[in-house]
């Protein structure tokens, strides 16, 4: 015969406290003294008591869950940010629910609706470009949210991120400063991806300011895959004159570019310099090590969690949290025509 599930009253009786104290200890442990909390937790563990989440959510109108919708589950960058987000939320008693949209804004709206139907208290999104219906829905329901990995300069949406355009300008300026004039770019696919679009715009602006054109045939958009980076580089190496430097929209594309140069016996950086963006873990162990932009992946997750928690507790938070990025110069770049 199945043993009846333990109830809140059973835990209270064993711990020698009131049911209200048990409820408070399990939902808001920071409000209960250490000795009382230990007794309640020991009693709950002994009785295998599991709080009834649905009933608690109905009473408090909170589920203590936060939804995050990211572009790609297999991307190590988003994984690190999401891990930091989860740890920070978990420390405050919240569970993270995760969904993916594969850079499709209609899919993002669909999965966001699904998370809302499951009662998430808040949402974390990536980038500033979203279906307009998404913001209308969040506004009408009063659900707190924060955008990450980019900055909304309009002030309409709370955000935690960095200036993708400025970071790309720094990369382009650096290449020009060390002597490059024949420059090409392998950008991420810009449709539905404001980060890729801003990085491409930043490189164009920096080069234009120095009197250097970035013609259409020297700009290729590709998905963030090593094979795509190799294919794009194969095309660029056929150009006459051949580019002496290739700016890549992220490290995965840059790794593909370096691999393709190696495959064609094109020396990096003696013949072609290559830059990435993000500073993935593999960037420093690539041969040669990759010059790239270091993005504060963990800090984005922690800062996003702080902003969400402030809003869930009735605060307004900071409209824009801008984090710094660094240009990390390594072995894949050198002045044109000679080793670094």
Task: Give the domain CATH number at 113.
Answer: 3.40.50.2300
* 54-58, 178-182, 327-331: range with lowest mean pLDDT: 54-58
Residue range(s) defining the domain that contains residue 275: 164-294
Q: Do 117 and 181 sit in the same domain of this protein?
A: no
At 54 the pLDDT is 44
Taking the C-alpha atoms of residue 298 and residue 294, their distance in angstroms, rounded to an integer, is: 12
Q: Do 176 and 270 sit in the same domain of this protein?
A: yes
- Mean per-residue pLDDT over the chain, rounded: 90
For residue 258, give the nearest of 230, 284, 228 by alpha carbon: 230
Return the number of other C-beta atoms located less than 10 Å from residue 330's C-beta.
18
Q: Do 122 and 198 sit in the same domain of this protein?
A: no
Return the number of other C-beta atoms located less than 10 Å from residue 173's C-beta.
17
Q: Do 265 and 191 sit in the same domain of this protein?
A: yes
Q: How many domains does the chain have?
A: 3
Bridging pattern class, strands 292-294 and 326-328: antiparallel
List all residues 6 or more positions away from 98 whose beta carbon is below 8 Å from its beta carbon: 67, 68, 70, 73, 82
Please check the confidence at residue 214 and state whether its pLDDT lies above 60.
yes
Q: Do 302 and 156 sit in the same domain of this protein?
A: yes
Which pTM value belongs to this model?
0.80
Q: End-to-end CA distance of the chain: give it in Å, rounded.
A: 76
At 47 the pLDDT is 85
């Amino acid at each position: 015969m199945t043993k009846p599930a333990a109830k809140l009253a059973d835990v209270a009786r064993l711990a020698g406290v009131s049911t209200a104290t048990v409820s408070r200890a399990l939902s808001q442990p920071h409000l209960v003294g250490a000795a009382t909390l230990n007794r309640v937790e020991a009693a709950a563990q002994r009785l295998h008591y599991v709080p009834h989440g649905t009933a608690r959510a109905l009473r408090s109108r909170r589920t203590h869950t936060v939804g995050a919708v990211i572009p790609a589950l297999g991307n190590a960058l988003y994984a690190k940010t999401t891990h930091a987000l989860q740890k920070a939320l978990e420390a405050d008693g919240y569970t993270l629910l995760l969904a993916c949209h594969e850079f499709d804004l209609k899919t993002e709206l669909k999965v966001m609706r699904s998370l809302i139907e499951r009662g998430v208290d808040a949402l974390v999104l990536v980038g500033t470009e979203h279906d307009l219906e998404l913001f209308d829905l969040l506004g009408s329901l009063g659900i707190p949210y924060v955008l990450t990995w980019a900055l909304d300069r309009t002030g309409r949406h709370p955000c935690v991120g960095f200036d993708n355009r400025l970071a790309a300008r720094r990369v382009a300026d650096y290449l020009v400063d060390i002597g490059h004039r024949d420059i090409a770019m392998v950008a991420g696919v810009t449709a539905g991806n404001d980060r890729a679009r801003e990085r491409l715009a930043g490189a164009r602006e920096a080069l234009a300011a120095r009197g250097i054109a970035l013609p259409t045939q020297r700009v290729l958009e590709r998905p963030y895959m090593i094979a795509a980076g190799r294919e794009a580089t194969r095309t660029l190496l056929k150009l006459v004159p051949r580019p002496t430097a290739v700016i890549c929209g992220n490290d995965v594309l840059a790794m593909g570019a370096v691999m393709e140069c190696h495959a064609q016996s094109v020396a990096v950086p003696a013949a072609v310099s290559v830059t990435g963006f993000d500073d993935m873990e593999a960037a420093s162990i690539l041969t040669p090590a990759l010059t790239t932009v270091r993005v504060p992946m963990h800090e984005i997750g922690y800062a996003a969690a702080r902003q969400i928690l402030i809003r869930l507790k009735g605060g307004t938070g900071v409209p824009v949290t801008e984090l710094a990025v660094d240009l990390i110069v390594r072995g894949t770049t050198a002045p044109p025509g000679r080793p670094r």
